[in-house]
Amino acid sequence: MLVRMELNPAQSRFINAFFETYLILNEKEEERLMEEIKQLDNAEEIMNLPNSWEERGYKRGIEQGIEQGMQKGVRKVIENMLKKDFSMEVIAEVTGASIGEIEKLKRKMVL
């Protein structure tokens, strides 16, 4: 119905936000909805409406980016500590990495 109403983007987002707030679906219901939408003639138009899936995708992407950045930062700290001849135990205590992870990284490094 929203697609056929020819609303401007602001109106569409407003109505969509209403449904997103008051019609909360669990994962199984979302899957069923997606399957039903795929069967419609105007499925592509419907999928272009702003929705919480889009927002969740952005959030997941940001979270993954932060996590990867933190992992790279910890690896860099470990490398720097190895270059300064810190003991494996101290590096593990400071970074939270396991001795095995530190040894693996040390083997990959060119000191």
Q: Identify the burial level of 27 via C-beta atoms within 10 angstroms of its C-beta, where 0-12 means exposed, 13-18 middle and 19 or more buried.
A: exposed
Mind listing the pLDDT tens digit for each residue in 33-59?
Answer: 778 777 777 666 666 655 556 666 778
Residue 58: per-residue pLDDT: 77
Among 30-34, 52-56, 90-94, the range with the most confident prediction by mean pLDDT is 90-94
Mean pLDDT over residues 88-93, rounded? 95
Sequence letter at residue 86? F
Kindly report whether the global pTM for this prediction surpasses the value 0.75.
no
- Which among 21, 55, 49 is positioned nearest to 34, based on CA atoms? 49
Q: Does residue 76 or residue 17 have the better pLDDT?
A: 76
